[in-house]
Amino acid sequence: MSFYKILQEKFTWERIKDFIYSRESIHVENALSKPEKSAEDFATLLSPAAENFLEEMASTASKITRQRFGKTIKLYAPIYLSNECTNSCVYCGFNRKNDIERKTLSYSEIEKEATIISSQGIRHILLVSGESPNVVNMEYLKEAVNICRKYFSSISIEIYPLSEENYYELYKEGVDGLTIYQETYNEKTYSQVHPAGKKRNYLWRLESPERGADAGIRTIGIGALMGLEDFRTEEFFVGMHADYLMKNYWKTHFTISFPRIRKAAGNFTPHQFISDKNLVQCMLALRIFKNDAGLVISTRESSEFRDNILPLGVTQMSAGSKTEPGGYHNEKHTGEQFEVEDDRSVAEFVQSLKDKGFDPVNKDWDRAFLNTAS
């Protein structure tokens, strides 16, 4: 059964929401006592009732993380290739209606950005772009990947959804990671916040991680944009999506991100305010439910918050990020996707991790040892 069918038949939004908000302390105690957590237990850990158990959840999540990942934090940084976009997602600074300076990096500019980032020690790059297939097309993407192969051992993409064939083409070129957030799993809200453009196609986006995994991509990141919907119900669907993918694509490593909506051009007001406590609860519940999933916290979050959540389950963090095309080599910073909160340099962040007893990991993959590498 496809995940979409499961959503339609088994986990309808309103039923799950009612269930989450009906949980009581006794249900949380019961869920926490079980060695294996069911979908119902996971929903319970996301409930308002579980807020009184955050300390116990933190201790459990911390133990699981140490056992599975040690005290390692994998580092990465994004290169924004282009802020041109044909979509009008209401929450995004790159929305085609926003009056921002539009730019697509030339190949020599990609090389400049790659040189700067790699000189800071980063070996895992994330190539980000809006959806403008006429500009950022397959030829452009393949060349961007080719340039980055000289500087980075791991290359991920966060772009518009592709067909399995196109993912395979990029995989052959050197892409080993894919990040694609569903934004919201609530189909009705999805259509409201994506009023125009190709992104309106909910199912095409929902099934992108499967197409990527079928193409051979080894790490796939999913998540929802926090603030578009009731966050407890939303994160339940993120967890169930991860559960489905991990069961059906056991060779692929899955990660989960928790992006909170940040200030951006267009001045979108989130539909729901997500507090630090809310975000921490979601992270703990997901760690306890999916022990082996990587958990990602980007520079959208403040340095203080990122430092505080280190022991709780996070395994991957961005560092020194710029969120506009050319942001690393240009003095002038315009046309960014959102405002970065943690603006520490890579060196400062690495030092801070070491001071707290964590091991920053720049390289955990090298496609040179992969037989199928071209």
Asked if 306 interacts with ligand SF4 (CB under 6 A), we say no
What is the per-residue binding string for ligand SF4 in 329-368, x denoting contact by CB under 6 A?
A: ----------------------------------------
Asked if 130 interacts with ligand SF4 (CB under 6 A), we say yes
Q: Which two tokens stand for residue 127?
A: 């190539």
Asked if 104 interacts with ligand SF4 (CB under 6 A), we say no
Asked if 131 interacts with ligand SF4 (CB under 6 A), we say yes
Of 86 and 115, CB closest to ligand SF4: 86
**Among residues 233, 207, 231, which one has the least CA distance to residue 220?**
207
Between CA 327 and CA 31 the distance in angstroms is 46
Q: How far, in Å, are 152, 209, 211, 242 from residue 167 at the CA level?
A: 19, 10, 7, 20
3-state secondary structure of 300: coil
Enumerate the β-bridge partners of residue 230.
none
Asked if 87 interacts with ligand SF4 (CB under 6 A), we say yes
| Contact assessment for residue 370 and residue 364, using Cβ atoms and an 8 Å cutoff | no
Sole binder of ligand SF4 in the list 73, 75, 92, 222 (CB under 6 A): 92
CB of 94 to ligand SF4, least distance (A): 4
Sole binder of ligand SF4 in the list 95, 184, 257, 298 (CB under 6 A): 95
CB of 58 to ligand SF4, least distance (A): 32
Residues near ligand SF4 (CB under 6 A), total: 9
DSSP string, 181-226: --B-S-HHHHHHH--SSGGG-HHHHHTHHHHHHHTT-SEEEEEB-B
Sole binder of ligand SF4 in the list 37, 74, 199, 290 (CB under 6 A): 199
DSSP code, position 259: P
Asked if 94 interacts with ligand SF4 (CB under 6 A), we say yes
**20-28, 88-96, 141-149, 213-221 -> range binding ligand SF4 (CB under 6 A):** 88-96
CB of 164 to ligand SF4, least distance (A): 20
CB of 197 to ligand SF4, least distance (A): 7
Q: How far, in Å, are 239, 274, 337 from residue 288 at the CA level?
A: 11, 21, 32
Q: Give residues with Cβ within 8 angstroms of 262, minimum separation 6.
A: 300, 338, 339, 341
Of 266 and 311, CB closest to ligand SF4: 266
Asked if 262 interacts with ligand SF4 (CB under 6 A), we say no
Asked if 85 interacts with ligand SF4 (CB under 6 A), we say yes
- Residue 261 φ/ψ, nearest 5 degrees: -65, 130
Strands (E) across the chain are located at: 72-82, 124-129, 154-158, 177-179, 219-223, 253-257, 294-297, 316-318, 359-361
Q: Which chain residues interact with ligand SF4 by CB under 6 A?
A: 85, 87, 89, 92, 94-95, 130-131, 199
